[in-house]
Structure 1
Amino acid sequence: MLRLDDIACHGELFGWTGRLLSQVIEPLGRGETAHYSPYDWRSRRFGPPRELPPAPVIVLEGVGAGRRALRPYLALLLWMDLPREESWTRGRARDGEEQREFWDGWVPAENEHFAGDPSRPFADLLVRGRPEGYELLPGPSGAAGTAPSDHTR
Structure 2
Amino acid sequence: MRLEDLYPGWDGLRAATGRLATEVLPALTRGETARYARWDWTADRYGVIQDEVPAKEVTIVEGVGAGALAAAPMVSALVFLDAPEQVRHARAMARDGEGYRPHWERWAAQELAYFAQDRPHERADLLLLPGSVQGRALR
Give me the TM-score of the superposition, normalised by structure 1: 0.77
The CA deviation string for residues 41-99 of structure 1, in whole angstroms up to 9 with x for no partner, is: 23212221111100100001111111211111111111113222211221222112332
Match of 1:40 in 2: 40
- Structure 1 residues 8-47: aligned runs within 5 Å: 8-10=7-9, 11-47=11-47
Larger Rg: 1
State the identity %: 38
- Structure 1 residues 111-122: aligned runs within 5 Å: 111-122=112-123
CA RMSD of aligned residues (A): 1.9
**In the alignment, does 2:135 pair up with 1:138?**
yes
> Bigger CA drift: 51-60 or 113-122?
113-122
Shift of 1:12: 2.1
Larger helix share, 1 or 2:
2
Q: Which amino acid aligns with 2:134?
A: L
**How many pairs were matched up?**
135
**In the alignment, does 2:3 pair up with 1:4?**
yes
Q: Which amino acid aligns with 1:9?
A: P
**In the alignment, does 2:91 pair up with 1:94?**
no
The CA deviation string for residues 100-142 of structure 1, in whole angstroms up to 9 with x for no partner, is: 2211211212112212221101111122455xxxx54314xx5
Evaluate the alpha carbon distance shift between residue 38 and residue 16 of structure 1 in structure 2; reply closer, same or farther with a 3 A threshold. same
Distance in 2 (CA, whole Å) between partners of 1:74 and 1:52 is 15
Match of 2:53 in 1: 52
Give me the TM-score of the superposition, normalised by structure 2: 0.84
Gaps of 5+ in 2: none
Gaps of 5+ in 1: 143-153
Shift of 1:38: 1.8
